[in-house]
Amino acid sequence: SKFDPFVLLQSVQVFVNETVRYNSDCLSGFHEFYASCSTGESLDEVFQFFPSSWLPVDFTRTAFDDADVEWPCKGGIDFKVILIALNSIIFAFLQLPQVPASISSLLKGMSSARSCVELILRTPPIDSFSDAGEKPESVKGEIVVQDVMFAYPASPKFNIYTRFSLRIPAGSSCAIVGPSGSGKSTLAALLLRYHDPQRGAISLDGRNIQSLNIAWLRDQIGIVGQEPMLFQGTIAENIRFGKTSASLQEIERVLEEIGSSEFVDNELCNGFDTIVGQRGSLLSGGQKQRIAIA
């Protein structure tokens, strides 16, 4: 009944010795396994514990046999290399069931990528970045449309114009009126050379617009929509988007030319320094249009 420390010490020593012996057995067994793997003898036994892994290993063996190549382990390849290679094969086979589900997405991606590449590599019939074409020193503004026939590429059998002719003298105002789809916006698109007519010609001051430099031509034309877009800032800052180096005197002169200088002086308390607000929200529709025209 008395506590004997020597008995306890002897018991602990027995357990320690048992642990050391067990570890030694495990270590010696591992070294044997390591050595046998280096010669390719124990790999089959290893994969018997993993039935799902047997198929890829079997396929790998078959591939080496068909190619008349020696099983790689027999060359004394490092054990870590063997495990890495076989694990790579196993995980590759585990992903195979997911391949059919991804084929549809893969095909869609390939189709989309092909369309994007074709769009990037295509050569447009009208190159807006080309340096070719005339750049006259001055423009009067006479526009002549002569016997124009045009159909949009998306609907080549539906002609917007058949034999359309029009003359707009320089310095004049002209209103194009018609029902929806009659070609009002198409005329603006042809003047800007977003499209070219299939027949006929459009000229500016006696020059066919197809002979003019596209960037120069578009720089001579201003478009103001029904709901013009203004930016947060002053009236002067918005007008300078048309010419960043414009002085205050130039801004005053252009407003006088379009008959809008009085509304800036009389209706707006801060004149050219009046804040227009986001999208011109602090101005009326007519005021926004006049600023956009300037």
Of 17-31, 90-104, 216-230, least confident by mean pLDDT is 17-31
* Statement: residue 129 has pLDDT above 90: no
Interatomic CA distance for residues 261 and 252, integer angstroms: 7
φ and ψ at residue 161, rounded to 5 degrees: -120, 140
Least confident residue range of 23-27, 49-53, 85-89, 249-253: 49-53
Confidence of residue 52 (pLDDT cuts 50, 70, 90): very low
- CA dist., res. 251 & res. 265, Å (int): 13
Its pTM stands at: 0.53
Query: What pLDDT does 48 receive?
Result: 52
> If one looks up domain 143-219 in CATH, what number appears?
3.40.50.300
pLDDT tens per residue across span 107-125:
888 888 998 998 888 888 8
The full set of domain ranges for the chain reads: 143-219, 235-293
- For residue 241, count other CB atoms closer than 10 A to its CB: 13
Judge whether 75 and 82 are in contact, CB under 8 Å.
no
Q: At 185, is the secondary structure helix, strand, or coil?
A: helix
Whether the per-residue pLDDT at 168 is higher than 80: the answer is yes
